[in-house]
Chains A and B, each alone.
Chain A
Amino acid sequence: MLVSIKELSKYVDLSGLSPEEVAHGLTFAGIEVEEVSRLATGTNLTIGHILECEKHPDSDHLHVLKVDLGKYGTEQIVCGAPNARKGLKVIVARVGAKLKDGNISASTIRGVASNGMCCSLLELGVDSKYLTEAQTKGIEELASDAPIGEDDVLGYLGLDDAVLNLKILANRPDLLSLYNVAREVGAIFSRKVNIPTYKFKADFETDLKVGSQTNKCSQFSGLEVKSIKVGPSPKYMVEALRSMGVRSINNIVDIGNYVMLLTGQPLHMYDADKLPNKELIVKDNLGVDFLALDEKTYKVILGDVVITSNDKAMCLGGIMGSNVCAVDEKSTHIIVESASFDGASIRHTSSRLGLASESSQRFVKGTNHFQANEVLAFVAYLLKECCEGKEFSNIVSYQNEAKPNDKVITSTSYINGRLGTEFKDDEIVNTLARLGFKVTKGDKGKLTCLIPSWRLDVSCAADISEEVIRLLGFDNVKSVLPISNIRVGALKQDQYRLKAIRDHLLALGLDECLTYSLVSKKNAKKYNILKDEEKYELLNPLTDERQVLRTHIAYSLLESASYNVAHQNKSLALFETANMISKSSRSDHLCVALVGNRLQRGMMSSKAYDFYDMKGIVESVFTILGIENSRYKFEVCKDVKELHPGKSAYVIFQNQKIGAFGELHPLSYKDFEFGKLPVYLLELDLALLESAKVSISKMEAISRFPTVSRDLAFLIDKKVAASDIVKLIKVSAKGMVKDAQIFDVYEGENIDPEKKSIAISLTIGSDHTLTEKEINDVVDAVKFELNKKYSVTLRM
C-alpha cells in the first residue's frame, strides 16, 4: 500500500513529523514500512523563461538558450531537448544542483559555455509510468503563467511529496484505506484525526433491484446517477492518485480509484443505459465466455462470482467489468456498485485467470461489509463535484449478514499477565481510546471494549493485549526466564543414536551432505536399492524435476557426488541422514557414497575405495551403537540392478534386510559422470538400529596368563566364505582359540582353480600358562575340525 505523506496529512495532523519518523512509528506499531521514497528530488531548481533559442554552431541537435531566471538573472544554457524553443517556461537546474543521476556544474559544451540544465520530470526522478511519451523525450513544458524565478519547483508541480510503502499483513486489511492509515498514525502519535463525512440526499426513487443468489456475496448496494459528464479529473485528484501509484484515466474511473484508496472499498460503475434490465443479481452458477473491459474473452466457470443483469454476465465480481456495459466518454447515466465478496472465491478466480488488481486484492484480504452507505455518499459528493452529476437515486441494498459482536470483555490483570507488564488501568484505557476503542471500566480492573467499526481483526482478549503492547512498545516487557521444575533436556534414544552415527561418520572423515527431498518421477524409480515403496506425488509441482517425495537418499547423494566429480573433486566420502516417508512407512535412512581414492597421505599414498571400505563403515556403525557382530550378518546380494552382482551385500538385522551396499553396476555409470572411478554406495534404514536393545557392557576380566599365537595355512574350496571358516575355528577347541585373523588369501597360479589358499593366525589362551602340548592339542583340534567340515589341504 503506497501512502502519500501529503495526502495523509489531509486527514491527520503530521506537523513536525518527518516522513521517516512516521515510517518508524508505523513499523514499531506492527505496520512495516518497507521503503520511504520521494516522488521527485532535486536541489537548486528554479522556474525559467527561454528568451532566446539559437542553433548550436557546432551541432545539429543542440540549442544555445538564454534563460531568464528572475532574481538569478539570465543564464546561457546548452540544451539538447527537441522541444526547446523561445518563449517556453521550463524547469532549470542551476549550477550546484543535485539531481537523481548526478550534479550540475558550469561547463563548456562543444566550445559554448553552459551554466545549468533544463530538466524533464524523468530527470527529477518521476516514474515514467506517470509521464506521456512527449514528457519522457523532452524537457517539461510548464504553463505559460508559471512564475519566473520560483524556487519551490517541486511544490509548484505538486511533486514535493514522500511516499511510504506499507507492507500490509493479513490481519490488517483495514489499512488498505488511507483513512484507516490516518487513524492508525493518529493513534501512534496521539495526533488529531479528521475523516470527512458526507451528507447524502436522494433526488429520486430508483426502480433498480439488487440481490444475490450465492452466499459468496454478503452485501450489495447500488446508486443510480443521471446526467453525468465524463471528462478529465481535477488536478488535486490526479496528484493524489499519482502519489499513491495510480494513473489518472478520466473523472469516473478516477473517482472509483480515489474512493477505494481512501475508504478501502472497491467500486464498480455500470452504464445504466447499456444494461439488459434494471436488475443486478450476483450469481456463481454460470459457465459462459465473458468479454471483459480489456477486450479479451475469459472463461467463467461454475463457482466464479458474476454480477448479472437479465441473466447476462455484466461483471466478474471484484475483478473486472464487462465490455457490454462499460462506462465510456458518452455515458451519462450510471449505476455505482459497492459490494462485498468472498475473498477465497475471488482469489481462486483471479489467480486462475491471471487477473489481479487493487480491487481484487482488497476483496481477497477482506473489506468492511458495513460501510456501503458512507462510501456511496462520498461517491455522490464527488460525482456532483467533478462530473456535474445532478440526479441521485436512493441507495438500494442487499445484506444477508448481521453485524458481528463488537464487544470484548477483558481485564487489566489478564493483559498484564499475558504481556509480562505492569500497566495501570488508565494507561490501558487511554491507549485503547487512541485506537478508537470505547472502553468502560468495571470492578476489579474489568474492561469492556467496544471495537471500532473499521477494525476487522479484533475479536478476543488476546487481540486487545496485542493492541496495547504494539502501541506502548515491547520495551515495557520485563525479560524473565520461565520458572519451572529444573529438568534436563535430553535427546530421545532414536535422536541420540542418529546423532551418534553422524558424529562418528564425521570423525571418520566422511563429509555430511544435505539434498532435496523432491526428485523427478523418473529418478524416483531408480536406486531404490533397499526396497521399493509407494511414493507420495505432488498434485502441483513447480517443475518435473521436483515432483515425487523420495524414499531413498541414494540417487540424490550420487547426484551430489557426480556434481563434485564434474568439478574435479574426485576423492569423495559423502554421507547423508534423512527421514524418509513413503505411503506405508517413515524412518531415518543413512546413505554413504565412496568415490575414487581414499587419500591416506594426499596423493602420495592413496588406495582405490573397495567393497571392504564400505563394509567397514557399516560394521563401525554397529560397533558404536554397541551391537555385537553376532547380532547381524551380511548376505550376498545379486538382485539389485544398480549394484554389481558380485560385489554387493545386504545387511541383515533382526531377520530383516535393513541395508544394501556395494559397487555401482557398470550399467549404472551412464546415469552420472563418474568416468572410470570406483563408486560404492550404501543405503541403510536406521529404524531398527535406533530402537535396538543394547545392554550396558559389564567389564570382562582380562586374563593374567599370556596367550600364544600359531599360524595355519591351507587350501580350501573357493566357495567357502571366510567368515564361516573363522566361526568354525573359534568353536573348535573349547574356547581356547581366543581369536583367528585371516592374514592372506590367494587364488591363481599353482593352485587348483577350484580352491583358494587361506592363511590364518590363531591366538590361543586359557586360565593358566599353556604347555607346549596343550598348544599343539589346540592346533590339532582346529585342523581336525577344518578337515572334517571342508576337507582342507594343509600347507603349514
Chain B
Amino acid sequence: MKNSKIQGILDKAKEAIESADSVETFNSIKSFFLSRKSELMSMMSTLGTLEPEERKEFGQELNQAKEEISKSIDEKIEELSKKELAEKLAKEQIDISLPSSNFTSGGKNPFHVIKDEIVDIFLGMGFDVADGPEVESDEYNFKLLNIPDDHPARDMQDTFYISDNVLLRTHTSPVQAHVMQQAEGKPIRIICPGKTYRRDDDDATHSHQFAQIEGLVIDKNINIGHLKATLELFVKQMFGEKREIRLRPSYFPFTEPSVEVDITCANCDGKGCSMCKGTGYIEILGGGMVHPNVLKMNGYDPEVYSGFAFGVGIERVAILRYGIDDIRRFYQNDVRFLHQYRKKA
C-alpha cells in the first residue's frame, strides 16, 4: 500500500485476525474494522475531498484493504466452523453394534415351508389345488379306492373311527374320488395337500397326525412314463438338479402297477452312507397308475381314460431336507425351532 495509514490498519487487522479463535471474535473484528464507523470506512467518506487523480488511487487502496480484511475473516470463519462441526460429529459417534430395530419376518414351521414349496412347484406345472374334508366316510376313504371290506388297511388298529362308517381320513387319497366325481369325466390335473390321521402312538418317528400331498392326473393315453417324468421334475426342483429317481415295484390297492420312488441320497450323492443305510437311495414317495376299478367307480371309462397318482409325506420331506430329529418338533412350535426357518431360500 502506498498509503501508510491504510497499510497500518490492514496490518492491525491481520494481526487481530491471526490471534482470534472464535466466531464471535471474528464478528467483532469485522465490525471494528469494517463497520460504517470504523477508521477505514470513515476514510472512505473523505474521498470526495480529494483530487480526482489522488481519489482514484486512494479509493482503490481502500477497497482493496476492505476486501482483504473481509475475505480473510470469512475464510477464517468457514475454517473454524468446519473444525467445530468436525469436532461435534466426532463426539456423536454411536455404538453401531447395539441391537437393531426388528423388521424381520416370523418363523415359518418347516412343515409349511415344505408344503408351500411343493404346491408352488406343481402350480408351475399346471396343476390345481384341491381340498377335501378330514372327516370322511368309509366309502371315500376305502371303498371307492378299491380297498375292499376285509383289507387289513381297514383295521380298527390303524384308523380313528367316529362311527361305524365315518372316520378321520387315513390318507389324502379320498380327495381323488371327490375330484373325479366332480370333474364328471373331464381330464384332471390336481394336487391335494392335507392332514391325515392314523392310530399310531406318538414317538420320534411316528405321529397320529401327519400330512400328505396327493397328486392325480387323468387323461387319455397316460402311462407310467408320464408319472416318471413328472416326479423327476418335482424331485429335481425340490431336492436339486443332481438328484435322480428310481422306481421300485410295490403295492397299493388303488394303483396298478404301483411303485415306490427312491431318490439318490443327498447326503452322499448316491455313494452310500449312514443316512441311506448304505444303499445310496432314500424312499421318498409312492405312486402308480390309477387302478381301473377306481376309475370305473368314480365315473371314468378305463378303456378310454387312464391316469397316475402319487402321494408324498410332507413331514418326511422336511425331515430329510432339514435333518429334523423328531417328528413331534413340528407340533411343539418351540419358537427357537420356528425361527430357524425364516429364510426364503
Binding site for B on A (CB under 8 A): 27-30, 32, 169-172, 342-344, 347, 351, 364-365, 417-421, 460-463, 465-466, 469-470, 474, 477-482, 484, 486-492, 495, 499, 502, 505-518, 536-542, 546, 549, 560, 563-564, 567, 569, 572-575, 579, 581, 586, 599-602, 604-605
Interface centre among A466, A517, A572, by most B CB within 10 Å?
Answer: A466
Q: Taking the nearest CB of chain A, how far is it from the CB of B6, in angstroms?
A: 56
Binding site for A on B (CB under 8 A): 98-109, 111-112, 116, 122-129, 131, 133-135, 149-153, 155-157, 160-163, 166, 168, 187, 189, 195, 197, 199-201, 208-209, 217, 219, 221-226, 228-230, 232-233, 246-251, 253, 256-259, 289, 291-293, 306, 330-336, 338-339
Closest residue of A by beta carbon distance from B122: A489
Given A351-B157, A484-B189, A539-B161, check contact A510 B247 (CB 8 Å): no
A420 to B289, CA, bound (A): 11
Q: Is the CB of A509 within 8 A of B228?
A: no
Closest residue of A by beta carbon distance from B149: A344
A517 to B135, CA, bound (A): 11
Q: Is the CB of A586 within 8 A of B208?
A: no
Given A490-B123, A517-B134, A564-B333, check contact A481 B249 (CB 8 Å): no
A228 to B195, CA, bound (A): 60
Q: Can you report 13 A-B residue pairs in the complex whose CB atoms are below 8 A from each other?
A: A29-B249, A343-B150, A418-B223, A420-B226, A470-B249, A482-B219, A489-B124, A489-B127, A507-B106, A536-B162, A538-B162, A575-B106, A579-B134
Q: A462-B256, A489-B189, A579-B195 are in contact. List 19 more A-B contacts (CB 8 A).
A: A27-B248, A342-B150, A419-B225, A461-B292, A477-B223, A481-B230, A482-B217, A482-B226, A487-B126, A489-B127, A489-B128, A508-B106, A509-B102, A511-B333, A516-B208, A542-B201, A564-B333, A601-B98, A604-B99
Residues in B whose Cβ lies below 8 Å from that of A342: 150
Name the contact of A540 in the complex, choosing from B161, B233, B306 (C-beta under 8 A).
Answer: B161
Closest residue of A by beta carbon distance from B130: A492
Q: Is the CB of A514 within 8 A of B251?
A: no
Interface centre among B128, B224, B250, by most A CB within 10 Å?
Answer: B224
Name the contact of B134 in the complex, choosing from A470, A581, A605 (C-beta under 8 A).
Answer: A581
Q: Is the CB of B151 within 8 A of A170?
A: yes
Q: Is the CB of A560 within 8 A of B332?
A: yes
Given A171-B251, A518-B208, check contact A347 B339 (CB 8 Å): no
Given A170-B251, A418-B223, A481-B226, check contact A486 B112 (CB 8 Å): no
Closest residue of A by beta carbon distance from B164: A539
Q: Is the CB of A169 within 8 A of B251?
A: yes
Residues in B whose Cβ lies below 8 Å from that of A172: 251
Q: Taking the nearest CB of chain A, how far is it from the CB of B316, in angstroms?
A: 15
Q: Is the CB of B126 within 8 A of A601?
A: no
Name the contact of B123 in the complex, choosing from A489, A586, A602 (C-beta under 8 A).
Answer: A489
A343 to B153, CA, bound (A): 13
Residues in A whose Cβ lies below 8 Å from that of B124: 489
A546 to B247, CA, bound (A): 37
Interface centre among B98, B100, B128, B153, by most A CB within 10 Å?
Answer: B128
Q: Is the CB of A563 within 8 A of B334?
A: yes
Residues in A whose Cβ lies below 8 Å from that of B106: 505-512, 573, 575
Q: Is the CB of B259 within 8 A of A474?
A: yes
A730 to B59, CA, bound (A): 70
Residues in B whose Cβ lies below 8 Å from that of A170: 151-153, 251, 253
Residues in B whose Cβ lies below 8 Å from that of A482: 189, 217, 219, 222, 226, 229-230
A30 to B128, CA, bound (A): 32
Given A364-B152, A419-B223, A586-B133, check contact A514 B187 (CB 8 Å): no
Q: Taking the nearest CB of chain A, how far is it from the CB of B156, in angstroms?
A: 6
Given A511-B333, A540-B161, A569-B334, check contact A495 B224 (CB 8 Å): no
A487 to B221, CA, bound (A): 19
Name the contact of A491 in the complex, choosing from B98, B123, B333 (C-beta under 8 A).
Answer: B123
Name the contact of B168 in the complex, choosing from A30, A32, A499, A549 (C-beta under 8 A).
Answer: A549
Q: Is the CB of A169 within 8 A of B250?
A: yes
